[in-house]
């Protein structure tokens, strides 16, 4: 869940000191994986088929929900190289990195310039490539109509456009908790998905390509619903409820920290395209492909490899990396959900204590029993 977009309650303020590339560093294993998956698909063939007949014009690519740029940096370099080989080395490219207005654009431009060296910036390898930023959340139109050839949105479309439906019992609507809360969350996510698609249809040129990866869920053959980061969310939820029950936070603060995100199923993502009368279909968008990919936790995999290869069972390192990776996207929900009557220092003390306790829980777990998964859907869409 590397990237994020804005909600009405400002729940997705960046975590960490601006300009340090904290999100990309903490989620390094995962952000690289999103790009690798696309590099091994038919993505580049689809990109080459996007119409671009007048080579004197500018080829426009969007990176939506860019965060600090880490998620798409490697993919963008390979995409530009492929398109330059196809269309000619003199073609000019304009890359628009979009995110919320309070995003850490400092880290983005430091990464683009090479001041943050990993992952390497695509700007260092090509002439006639220009990078810009759009500080507009993607539930609005971000660029001029009929201007974009390709839009990528990697690990950002799970964020909702505003506050989630109220859940009095949990900070997130888990599959095995309240069914009505889960239904309302998925209804809101479905409405937001259609809004997102309609806006992108305005921005794309005819023949343009939209590729979205988003956290997802699936149902097993036994009927169990699996969601992304369920163990982490469950630990957060248990501890935050404890804070409420002991009076450290109020019940209204607990409700106000409901997480404004939803892991979308393949069925939810495909639904607007299956209905011939939907607003999305009327915008001339057509679904090319949709597939689900289920990865084990990358931090667990790294711990397991060190243990098996070097005999190092470093559970403290495992816990620290795990919490750091997930705090970068979840921290803002708690900071902005606490009452405005609290000082900033008081909010930070409460939220810091939460993540210290999360790290303690994870450190005392056996990683072999760790069951978190990265479940992502990848959809490719064309504007006809």
| Per-residue pLDDT tens over the stretch 192-226 | 999 999 999 999 999 999 999 999 998 888 888 88
> Which residues make beta-bridge pairs with 209?
150, 382
The answer to whether the CB of 142 falls within 8 A of the CB of 136 is yes
Please report which helix (H) or strand (E) contains residue 291, including its range: strand 285-296
Taking every pair of Cα atoms in the chain, the longest distance, rounded to a whole number of angstroms, is 66
122 vs 109: CA distance, rounded Å: 12
159 vs 246: CA distance, rounded Å: 30
Cα of 239 vs its chain's centroid, Å: 24
Position 11 pLDDT exceeds 50: no
Token digits of residue 117: 């060296």
Query: Percent of the chain beyond pLDDT 90?
Result: 67
**Arithmetic mean of pLDDT, 171-178:** 86
Q: What is the pLDDT of residue 9?
A: 44
Token digits of residue 347: 């909010």
pLDDT tens-place string over residues 111-166: 999 998 888 899 988 999 999 999 999 999 999 999 999 999 988 999 999 999 99
pLDDT tens-place string over residues 69-82: 888 888 899 999 99
162 vs 33: CA distance, rounded Å: 28
Q: What is the DSSP pairing of strand 217-219 with strand 204-215?
A: unpaired
Domains of the chain, CATH where assigned: 22-228+260-297+374-383 (3.40.50.150)
Position 4 pLDDT exceeds 50: no
User: What pTM, to 2 d.p., does this model score?
Assistant: 0.91
User: CA dist 42 to 47, 82, 89, 211, 379, Å?
Assistant: 9, 12, 22, 11, 12
| 3 state DSSP class of 75 | helix
pLDDT band at 307 (very low <50, low <70, confident <90, very high): very high
**Arithmetic mean of pLDDT, 38-58:** 88
DSSP 380: E
- Following CA atoms 190, 195, 199, 205 in sequence, which dihedral angle do they give, to the nearest 10 degrees? 40
């Amino acid at each position: 869940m590397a990237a994020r977009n804005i909600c009405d309650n400002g729940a997705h303020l960046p975590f960490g000191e601006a300009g340090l590339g904290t999100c990309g560093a903490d989620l390094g294993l995962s952000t690289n994986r999103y790009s690798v998956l696309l590099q091994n698909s038919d993505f580049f063939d689809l990109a080459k088929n996007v119409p671009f007949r007048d080579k004197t014009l500018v080829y426009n690519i969007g990176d939506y929900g860019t965060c600090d740029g880490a998620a798409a940096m490697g993919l963008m370099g390979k995409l530009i190289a492929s398109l330059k080989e196809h269309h000619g080395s003199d073609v000019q490219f304009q890359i628009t990195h979009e995110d919320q207005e309070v995003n850490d654009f400092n880290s983005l431009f430091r990464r683009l310039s090479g001041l943050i060296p990993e992952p390497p910036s695509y700007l260092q390898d090509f002439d006639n490539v220009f990078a810009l930023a759009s500080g507009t959340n993607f539930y609005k139109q971000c660029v001029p109509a009929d201007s974009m050839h390709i839009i990528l949105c990697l690990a950002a479309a799970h964020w909702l456009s505003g506050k989630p439906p109220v859940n009095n019992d949990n900070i997130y609507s888990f599959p095995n908790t309240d069914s009505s809360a889960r239904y309302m969350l998925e209804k809101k996510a479905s409405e937001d998905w259609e809004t997102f698609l309609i806006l992108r249809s305005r921005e794309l040129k005819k023949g343009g390509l939209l590729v979205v990866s988003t956290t997802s869920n699936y149902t097993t053959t036994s009927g169990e619903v699996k969601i992304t980061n369920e163990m982490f969310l469950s630990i957060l939820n248990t501890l935050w409820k404890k804070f409420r029950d002991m009076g450290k936070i109020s019940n209204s603060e607990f409700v106000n920290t409901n997480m404004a995100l939803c892991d979308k199923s393949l069925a939810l993502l495909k639904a607007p395209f299956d209905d011939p009368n939907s607003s999305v279909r009327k915008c001339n968008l057509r679904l090319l492909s949709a597939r689900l990919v289920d990865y084990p936790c990358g931090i667990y995999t790294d711990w397991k490899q060190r243990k098996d290869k070097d005999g190092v069972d470093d559970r403290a390192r495992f816990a620290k990396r795990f919490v750091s990776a997930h705090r970068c996207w979840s921290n803002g929900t708690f900071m902005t959900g606490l009452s405005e009557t609290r000082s900033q220092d008081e909010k930070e003390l409460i939220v810091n204590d939460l993540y210290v306790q999360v790290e303690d829980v994870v450190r005392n777990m056996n990683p072999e029993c760790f069951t978190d998964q990265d479940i992502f859907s990848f959809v490719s869409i064309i504007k006809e």
